[in-house]
Amino acid sequence: MALIELQEVSKIFGFGEATTLALDEINLSVEKGEFLAIMGPSGCGKTTLMNIIGLLDRPSHGKYLLEGRDSSRLRAGRQAKLRRDRIGFVFQFYNLLPRLNVLDNVALPLAYRGMTPVRRAKRASDILELIGLRDREYFLPKHLSGGQTQRVAIARALINNPSIIIADEPTGNLDSHDSKVVMELFADLHRSGHTILMVTHNPELTRYASRVIYMRDGMVVEEESTSIGAIAKGALRTYLRKRKTTEEDVLAGVSALLKDVPGKAMTSEPKAKPKSKSKKRSRRALRKARR
């Protein structure tokens, strides 16, 4: 039995004319212990997919089975409990509470479990030891480097000993050194049996993954098993085409931004005029000017 199984999962945002099909009949299964990397241009549905798998959101259509259980039939409270016990989230923008020190930030998810403060602090302290930040326990987030902050966020994600870790562009905000430190931490977690789902734009990071899926327009368009240590072939191709992808990314981002603006819902990307045509026109303009 797969740990995660999506059957023709679709997600639609909005109403009436201004709807977005963020996920388009996705089929996906993830086995326990996999390290799955999810790639694709901005706006293709990666975060939406992670939110559904992480029980932060529900499919509009289709079925999501988590450990064989149909999660779409669960009531909200039950779903929240399952999320708390099974899933750890790591985001691009750490989401630590600025007024709480490192220890309290890490211990926060335990507060909802009715554990005594002393036991909470002990457990948080143990996790911080594990990731090498015990000496930063009483620091506020603003006094940490980017890499340290993300490690604290990972510690917080681990506090409930989740079986699934969902990381949405976890190194998107880090320099290459800090990225490496954070990725090594994920690699350790993977080796110790955690299932990891990670969204990334960085082909380099597919080295850590055991499988890569490529998304476009709400669909999984390609997938590839990879060996740990090697960059996935598909990711490498994207990397080589990088300039083109970046351009598409920008366009997708713009259309995503305009999506909720009344009367500006874009159904298709604005097309740039073909170069040859404008060249012809300017040549004609030149000739005209010479006359």
Ligand X SMILES: Nc1ncnc2c1ncn2[C@@H]1O[C@H](COP(=O)(O)OP(=O)(O)O)[C@@H](O)[C@H]1O
For ligand X, the binding residues (CB under 6 A) are 13-14, 20, 22, 40, 42-48, 256, 259
Task: Find the shortest distance in angstroms from Cβ 256 to ligand X.
Answer: 4
The item of Mg ion, ligand X, none sharing an interface with residue 48, based on CB under 5 to 8 Å by kind, is: ligand X
The item of Mg ion, ligand X, none sharing an interface with residue 36, based on CB under 5 to 8 Å by kind, is: none
Nearer to ligand X, 43 or 147 (CB): 43
Provide the token pair at 142.
Answer: 């603003």
CA distances from 237 to 11, 204, 219, 221 (A): 28, 12, 19, 14
The item of ligand X, Mg ion, none sharing an interface with residue 219, based on CB under 5 to 8 Å by kind, is: none
**Dihedral angle sign, alpha carbons of residues 185, 187, 193, 196:** positive
Which ranges of the chain does DSSP label H, i.e. alpha helix?
Answer: 46-53, 76-86, 102-111, 117-130, 146-158, 176-191, 233-240, 242-258, 275-290
Name every residue whose Cβ is closer than 8 Å to that of residue 32 and which is 6 or more positions away in sequence. Answer: 3, 163, 193, 195
**Binding status of residue 171 toward Mg ion by CB under 5 A:** no
Nearer to ligand X, 82 or 219 (CB): 219
Instruction: Tell me which of 20, 47, 179, 238 binds Mg ion, using CB under 5 A.
Output: 47
Task: Find the shortest distance in angstroms from Cβ 281 to ligand X.
Answer: 34
Nearer to Mg ion, 45 or 141 (CB): 45
The item of ligand X, Mg ion, none sharing an interface with residue 206, based on CB under 5 to 8 Å by kind, is: none
